[in-house]
Amino acid sequence: MGDWNKKPSRIFMEGKVHGSSARADKVRGQTPKVAKQDKKKKPRGHAHKRMQYNRRFVTAVVGFSKKRGPKSFEK
């Protein structure tokens, strides 16, 4: 038949990717510790589905314009 169905041989040398874990620990240690903020509890279950419905269909702007993402705040 031919050589078209043979698997290609590995011709590239496998190198290290993204440095060592010791370097990652160094960077993590250098970053300042920031305390977690208190956040409002998200609704669960049916309440969450209701929130999604209201966000997508009730308060959505109806018109012939380009759809905007959920985080586009400019008017």
- Mean pLDDT of successive 10-residue stretches along the chain, which has 75 residues: 59 65 78 94 97 87 79 72
Whole-angstrom CA distances from 14 to 5, 8, 10, 23 are 24, 15, 9, 20
pLDDT given for residue 71 in this prediction: 81
pLDDT given for residue 3 in this prediction: 59
The single-letter code of the amino acid at 46 is: H
- Rounded CA separation 53/33 (Å): 38
pLDDT given for residue 52 in this prediction: 92
Cα angle, residue 51 at apex, residues 62 and 37 outer, rounded to 5°? 120
